[in-house]
Amino acid sequence: DTAVSQTPKYLVTQMGNDKSIKCEQNLGHDTMYWYKQDSKKFLKIMFSYNNKELIINETVPNRFSPKSPDKAHLNLHINSLELGDSAVYFCASSQEHGLAGGFRFSYEQYFGPGTRLTVT
């Protein structure tokens, strides 16, 4: 009964190809994210969607295009793959922020298992 799932788990492809990674969450969350973890294990946000609407787009090349067909899915399509795209890509989801005593707080993010992309 996986909460956040990603497919494929491993992806090996050649430079110049186009590939997609899929993410699904069954937690009923409104917000989904894509993160990139580089070879030094540095984890950085790429995109965030809330209710199918893009709300965060970090300085990511426009070869990367996220698509959210519904609240439970956030897919990542990458065009013209480059060697530097090799990394582990994590999907995550969370509830939208909460309010307590007039203060905003963030909910826990639930992460997928990651997709290891290798570009040769």
Q: Which residues bind to another protein, rule: CB under 8 A?
A: 4, 33, 40-45, 48, 55-56, 58, 90, 92, 97, 103-106, 108-114
CA-nearest of 96, 89, 90, 88 to 71 is 96
Q: Which is nearer to another protein, 13 or 57 (CB)?
A: 57
Tell me if 30 sits within 8 A of 74, measured CB to CB: no
Tell me if 54 sits within 8 A of 47, measured CB to CB: yes
Q: At closest approach, how far in Å is the CB of 46 from another protein?
A: 10
Q: Which is nearer to another protein, 9 or 15 (CB)?
A: 9
Q: Which is nearer to another protein, 13 or 72 (CB)?
A: 72
Half-sphere exposure of residue 50, counting CA atoms within 13 Å on the CB side?
6
